Amino acid sequence: MPEPSGTRSSPPEPSPDGGRAPAVFGIGASELLRHVALFAATAASMVVTYAYADNGGLRARASWVHGAQFAAALLLILLSHELGHYIAARLHRVDSTLPFFIPMPLVSPFGTMGAVIRMRGAIPSRRALLDIGAAGPLAGLAFAIPLYAWGIRHSAVVPIDPSLGGTFGESLLTRALDAAFAPHLPEGTVQVASPVLFAAWAGLFVSMLNLLPIGQLDGGHVAYALFGRRQDRMALVVHRSLLVFFFVSLAGYVGRDLAAGLGFYRLGRHVNDAMFWLIWFEVLGVLGALTKPPGARGRAEDDGEELTPRTRMIAVVALSVLASIGREHTYPTLWAAWFVGLGVLLAMEVRGGTLRRHSLFEHPDVGTTSLGVPRTIIAVIALAFFAALFMPAPIML
């Protein structure tokens, strides 16, 4: 995923060799070493994270082999995604860095928070914006889709066991791939995802998030290139719909339990399963505040600057920890405190955050040059992939 583009221009950092010819890709040797080190650290983080969660744990040789398979497949998807952005940026003469990979061992289920590139120059046109925004997810999907098809075909079929854990979220695309490539499952059996399948699913999941048509995400770039300034208003609707989706999902889960006579016994599990959308609603608010271009349209007094990114993240972490503690048990006091905390957070969003008028998701202007028919088709395809990848419940634990 590229960092905010077109926000400001800055000269390239001086190379550490005193101005002599840069080493590779137009950057100095020390900067190149930093990219390589982060890539290696992320690969190691992925292997350890997968091996730790695998049957047998870190002591089993097979777990390390599975971890290496997972890391290789996911790194291929992420690297192709970021190089898609990088190559498109270079073709349009937009100064950008190589990808910065972000290791996150054990905390993230994937062992990473993905990767970003920095674009240090303004994007010159809507055509360039579309090319740079769409190249990443389309390049990543070119590997994620066939890897998912191969993975679903070669994953083990075992007897149903409740201890096997959670299930993957489904989308229209994954259902189509399952129907086309999954083996027949005899009654009483289930398929256990292979390392390659899990990596491919993770790649599809990350592509879905990047293609959300909001702000500086890839989908925001594509939608702005296609719709122009109308996208700024559409981004607000999309962002608030995430909060609506959280409440609708939670109400649906609880409503089914009430209809079955189970009461609120599984409230904790349902909150945790629906909470992804609440978390992402707040994370996007943080990203919007951190990446808002200084030249974005909108009045300063309308911006949600009173609710800081730090406050949002503290609130999200606190709600997540409480929800995790109460996942398998219905503690009335804990859940009363949780919903009170949620109410306070939303009240702050109304008073000085993303639930009032703001310009946090407005995109830098890139002119009014027509995309042309071929690029318009590409933009529609990219946004159609978002619809095909959308997962109402990404992870059910």
For 80-106, the pLDDT digits (tens) are 999 999 999 999 999 999 999 999 998
pLDDT band for 139, please (50, 70, 90 cuts).
very high
Q: What is the DSSP letter of 174?
A: H
Length of the chain: 397
Give the pLDDT confidence of 29-39 residue by residue, as tens digits: 888 999 999 99
Cβ within 8 Å of residue 115, ≥6 positions away:
1, 42, 78, 79, 81, 82, 99, 100, 101, 102
What is the Cα 220 distance to its own chain's centre? 13
Residue of 299 and 183 predicted with greater confidence: 183
- Asked if 166 and 96 touch (Cβ cutoff 8 Å), the reply is no
pLDDT at 304 over 50: no
Q: What is the mean pLDDT of residues 153-181?
A: 85
pLDDT at 397 over 80: no
Q: Out of 17-26, 287-296, 388-397, pick the least confident.
A: 17-26
Can you read off the two tokens belonging to residue 190? Answer: 């289930």
pLDDT above 70: percentage of residues in the chain: 88
pLDDT band for 156, please (50, 70, 90 cuts).
confident
pTM, rounded to two decimals: 0.86
Closest CA to 36 of 88, 79, 85: 79
Give the pLDDT confidence of 208-247 residue by residue, as tens digits: 999 999 988 999 999 999 999 999 999 999 999 999 999 9
pLDDT at 301 over 70: no
CA 227 vs CA 22, 169, 233, 363: distances in Å: 39, 30, 10, 11
Q: Which pLDDT score, from 0 to 100, does residue 102 have?
A: 94
Can you read off the two tokens belonging to residue 197? Answer: 């399948």
Q: What is the CA radius of gyration of the chain?
A: 22
Give the pLDDT confidence of 346-380 residue by residue, as tens digits: 999 999 899 998 888 988 888 888 899 999 999 99
Q: Which pLDDT score, from 0 to 100, does residue 137 have?
A: 97
